[in-house]
Homo-oligomer: A and B are copies of this chain.
Amino acid sequence: MSESQNTRALAPRRHGEILRRLAADGTVSITALADFFDVSRQTIRRDLKHLADRGQLDLVHGGATLFEPTEAAFTERREENAGAKAAIGRTAADLVRDGMVVFLDSGTTTLAVAQALIERKNLTICTTSLSIALLMCRQPLVRVHMLGGEIDPVEEAAVGIDALEAISHFRVDVAFLGGGGLSPDGEVTDFTRSGAEQRSRMAALAGKAYFVLDSSKFGRLTPLRIPRFELAAGVIVDRRPPEAICEALERKGPSLIVST
């Protein structure tokens, strides 16, 4: 285009302005931002993805919103990528046979796994998630153990020292765990220290542990590495991640399972 005005800004400057607008209005629109900075929408998308990977905002169709840990956030998250999560759930359920002891982590993807597991018989379910416990205890032929502890209102699940200790009492055949992101170097990462520690213990404890991650988490860089995550048997995703991630992951040990 003709000579662009000097309004063009470097990435850090854009990021600052984006967050400022977000704080002021609650939402930002990709088109409006691209127009304002006089850059392509692609660039703005990259900016938003970058910020979202750091948990500073939530991506939505057409822009982004404040990252709000509210009740609405949980019910909304359940609908994001619903198809992908259901597919992951079915693939996960294929790894479970009647009569097994299954651990289910909190999260919307693991909730999808729980839904798929309703088909199985005589399962014993261990979980920290209130929703999963409630869902599964209403099914016939399922025993449910709820791990106690302080309830995190964002996850609607037990966290903290009590939950951590309760985990060690169980012997489980297979565990399905969530995660905050799948980093470029093939590691599953998390948002909080306690969450990472909790998942780490489960991965170590279960006969086989699988992380379930939908594709929106690919390349996302959340602050905490999940210790000893290599002990996991595999990572279940809804489609094949970028090649670099695949290679890094397989080098570390866990196999990559892509749901069909």
Q: Which residues of A contact B (CB under 8 A)?
A: 3-4, 6-13, 16, 26-27, 29, 31-32, 35, 54, 56, 60-63, 65, 71-72, 75-76, 130-131, 133-134, 137-138, 143-153, 156, 158, 162-163, 166, 169
A69–B47 Cα gap in the complex (Å)? Answer: 21
In contact, A60 and B143 (Cβ under 8 angstroms): no
Chain B residues lying within 8 Å of A31, measured Cβ to Cβ, are: 4, 6
Closest to A140 in B: B153
Q: How far is the CB of A30 from chain B (nearest CB, A)?
A: 9
Q: How far is the CB of A133 from chain B (nearest CB, A)?
A: 5
In contact, B138 and A130 (Cβ under 8 angstroms): no
In contact, B26 and A6 (Cβ under 8 angstroms): no
In contact, B35 and A13 (Cβ under 8 angstroms): no
- Given A62-B11, A148-B146, verify A138-B71 contact (CB < 8 Å): yes
In contact, A72 and B60 (Cβ under 8 angstroms): no
The 8 closest A-B pairs by CB, nearest first: A148-B148, A144-B151, A137-B151, A13-B27, A6-B31, A130-B134, A137-B153, A147-B148
Chain B residues lying within 8 Å of A145, measured Cβ to Cβ, are: 148-151, 162
Chain B residues lying within 8 Å of A163, measured Cβ to Cβ, are: 148
Interface of A is mostly: mixed
A143–B152 Cα gap in the complex (Å)? Answer: 9
Chain B residues lying within 8 Å of A65, measured Cβ to Cβ, are: 10, 12-13
Q: Return the contact of A149 from the options B32, B63, B146, B152 (Cβ within 8 A).
A: B146
In contact, B134 and A143 (Cβ under 8 angstroms): no
- Given A54-B75, A60-B10, verify A150-B144 contact (CB < 8 Å): yes
Q: How far is the CB of A73 from chain B (nearest CB, A)?
A: 10
